[in-house]
């Protein structure tokens, strides 16, 4: 017998996939279709496609996830001010530990900080929430790659 939670999860990703595809194709149709002649134009087009893919994925997920809310907010701010804004973290006080425990904690903190820098909106998340958001973000990026590969294959025929 199928697990109902698993079914809803796969249906949810399928729904996100179809919403992403629709939004991404609509965004691509607005991007200039004229062939770029300079390296600068190629870079601008690449950036527009990347932004369209990110915006489409964040819109498809909606405001249910912190990373998509952060990405949508960043894009709204970019439209208004044409510059990025960053949220600063408050530093927490650390308790004293033995040498090996300190090294492990510093290593773990360093890895968590790297992860916070990779996941949109991860700067202010607790580690458990960060790991959950990271897992969902990776699933969505994987879906994004599959859809974009399918579109590229379709148009390269």
pLDDT tens sequence across 108-129? 788 888 899 999 999 888 989 9
How many CA atoms does the CB half-sphere of 34 hold within 13 Å?
6
Q: Is the pLDDT of residue 77 over 70?
A: yes
- The DSSP 8-state label assigned to residue 93 in this structure reads P
Cα dist from 3 to 9, 11, 16, 143, whole Å: 10, 12, 20, 22
Mean pLDDT of the chain: 80
* Burial class (CB within 10 angstroms; exposed 0-12, middle 13-18, buried 19+) of 121: buried
Q: Which of 2-6, 51-55, 126-130, 141-145 has the lowest mean pLDDT?
A: 2-6
The pTM of the full predicted model, rounded to 2 decimals, is 0.70
Domain ranges for the chain: 13-84+111-155
At residue 80 the predicted structure's pLDDT band, cuts being 50, 70 and 90, is: confident
At residue 7 the predicted structure's pLDDT band, cuts being 50, 70 and 90, is: very low
Share of the chain above pLDDT 90, in %: 34
Q: Is the pLDDT of residue 1 over 50?
A: no
What gap in Å lies between CA 130 and CA 138, rounded to an integer?
12
What gap in Å lies between CA 6 and CA 12, rounded to an integer?
10
């Amino acid at each position: 017998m199928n697990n109902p939670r698993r079914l809803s999860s796969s249906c949810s990703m399928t729904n996100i996939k179809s919403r992403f595809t629709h939004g991404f194709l609509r965004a691509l149709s607005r991007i200039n279709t004229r062939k770029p002649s300079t390296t600068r134009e190629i870079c601008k087009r690449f950036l527009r496609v990347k932004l369209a893919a990110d915006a489409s994925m964040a819109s498809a997920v909606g405001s249910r996830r912190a990373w998509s809310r952060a990405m949508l907010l960043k894009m709204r701010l970019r439209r208004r001010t044409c510059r990025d804004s960053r949220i600063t973290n408050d530093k927490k006080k650390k308790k004293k530990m033995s040498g090996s425990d300190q090294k492990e904690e510093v290593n773990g903190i360093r890895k968590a900080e790297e992860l916070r820098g990779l996941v949109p909106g991860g700067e202010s998340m607790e580690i458990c929430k960060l790991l959950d958001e990271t897992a969902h973000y990776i699933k969505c990026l994987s879906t994004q790659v599959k859809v974009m590969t399918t579109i590229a294959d379709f148009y390269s025929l």
